[in-house]
Amino acid sequence: MTPDAQALAKKRFFAITAIRISAAFFIAFGIIIAFGNNQWLGADIRVPVGLGLTMVGIVDYIVIIPMLARRWRSRQDG
């Protein structure tokens, strides 16, 4: 593996890892906002905002991460 290819692989690995961590935070904070006892959001907006964040996190996990992994897979991996 050339140094350029290795640097590119590291960047891609960190990008996928960052997306995975942000998706976990979206899911966790979405659930906390939707079903927690927080007073800073109104009762009528709390559930849609929380479930929206949760859905964004789930889409990241289910769609975005595998799509990037498939697109960035090296030719040697098959």
Taking residues 4-32, what's their average pLDDT? 94
Check whether 77 has a pLDDT greater than 70: no
Task: Give the model confidence (pLDDT) of 29-68 as tens digits.
Answer: 999 998 887 777 777 888 899 999 999 999 999 999 999 9
Please state the three-class secondary structure of 11-70 as a single string.
Answer: HHHHHHHHHHHHHHHHHHHHHHHHHCCCCCCCHHHHHHHHHHHHHHHHHHHHHHHHHHHH
C-alpha distances out from residue 11 to 6, 14, 15, 33, Å: 9, 5, 6, 32
Compute, in degrees rounded to 10, the torsion defined by CA atoms 37, 41, 47, 50. -90
For the chain, percent of residues with pLDDT exceeding 70: 95
Q: What is the predicted pLDDT for the residue at 16?
A: 95
